[in-house]
């Protein structure tokens, strides 16, 4: 692992948010293993043991930086540090985020706002901080980690899904804005991934209230997600591979699906004669778990 303050200006520089576990950890390691000087950033550096051990064992060009996407001072401080040490950011991977589980009526406005603050506004905050440097160097690539839930809505995930739908629109819009500056923008859309994401989902107390009119639906969805995680999900490395592909090809695509379930779902939607028939297929799938 690269010691703090050491520079490797011959390498392309990558910055990854939410690197303490799962997709962020796998992506940071994949980039470092492929020659990128990687800044693995996370809100809580106490959760960095896994990535520290892996990077040290393999002597990877990787450095940890504290960065909380919800804190403007933290974001600006991290970008200033990277700018001072490297003078460039070739790859920005916006990965930090979490899931909020529950029917819309059972969620408070505060809980929904908090979901957007991290998943959407946090991403915007970090992107805006990095863009002046990326424009100055006239090039780079931004990879937003979205979800197949940004293309397909699922019950019990209204808050989370809507942040990912918003991210789809944001990604597509800024891809036009940044193209004249040589900056490419892509979005990677994972399906269900074997990470701590589902275990770490925020489940408000009202969601499991026996008096909630949505209790049965939420229990059914929880069983479906658990089954998918155990039997049909992909590893975080599948997403890391998609990110690596996007940042190493000359002309990346706008969207990359990651995981067999994501590909299958999008094929189902594409082949369905109508939205209603696709909805019925999804409902049938949920009822099987």
Show which residues are catalytic.
160
Chain CA centroid to CA 142, Å: 12
The strand order across the sheet containing 140-145 reads 62-66, 37-42, 13-16, 91-94, 140-145, 183-190, 255-258
E strand map for the chain: 13-16, 37-42, 62-66, 91-94, 140-145, 183-190, 255-258
Alpha-carbon span 150 to 163, nearest angstrom: 8
Per DSSP, what are the bridge partners of residue 14? 38, 91
Q: Is 138 left (phi over 0), alpha (psi -120 to 50) or beta?
A: left
Indicate the SS3 state at residue 235: coil
**The two three-digit tokens of residue 145, written as one number:** 């980690």
Whether 115 and 130 have beta carbons less than 8 Å apart is answered as: no
* Torsion angles phi and psi, residue 92, rounded to 5: -120, 120
**The two three-digit tokens of residue 44, written as one number:** 């809580």
Alpha-carbon span 245 to 237, nearest angstrom: 12
The distance between the two most distant Cα atoms of the chain, rounded to a whole number of Å, is: 61
């Amino acid at each position: 692992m690269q010691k703090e303050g050491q520079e490797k200006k011959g390498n392309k520089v990558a910055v990854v948010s939410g690197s303490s576990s799962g997709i962020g950890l796998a992506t940071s390691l994949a980039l470092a293993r492929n020659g990128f000087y990687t800044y693995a950033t996370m809100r809580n550096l106490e959760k960095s043991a896994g990535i520290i051990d892996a990077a040290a064992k393999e002597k990877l060009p990787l450095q940890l930086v504290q960065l909380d996407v919800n804190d403007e001072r933290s974001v600006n401080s991290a970008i200033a540090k990277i700018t001072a040490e490297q003078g460039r950011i070739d790859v920005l991977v916006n990965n930090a985020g979490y899931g909020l589980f529950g029917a819309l009526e059972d969620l408070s406005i505060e809980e929904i706002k908090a979901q957007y603050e991290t998943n959407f506004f946090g991403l915007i905050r970090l992107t805006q901080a990095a863009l002046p440097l990326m424009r100055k160097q006239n090039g780079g690539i931004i990879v937003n980690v979205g979800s197949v839930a940004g293309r397909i809505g699922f019950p019990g995930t209204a808050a989370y899904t809507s942040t990912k739908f918003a991210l789809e629109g944001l990604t597509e819009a800024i891809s036009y804005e940044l193209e004249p500056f040589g900056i490419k923008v892509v979005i990677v859309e994972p399906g269900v991934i074997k990470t701590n994401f589902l275990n770490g989902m925020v489940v408000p107390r009202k969601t499991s209230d026996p008096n909630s009119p949505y209790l049965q639906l939420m229990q059914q969805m929880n069983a479906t997600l658990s089954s998918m995680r155990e039997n049909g999900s992909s590893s975080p490395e599948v997403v890391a591979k998609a990110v690596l592909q996007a940042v190493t090809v000359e002309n990346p695509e706008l969207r990359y699906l990651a995981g067999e379930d994501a590909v299958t779902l999008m094929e189902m939607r594409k082949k369905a004669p109508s939205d209603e028939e696709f909805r019925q297929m999804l409902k049938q799938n949920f009822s099987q778990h």
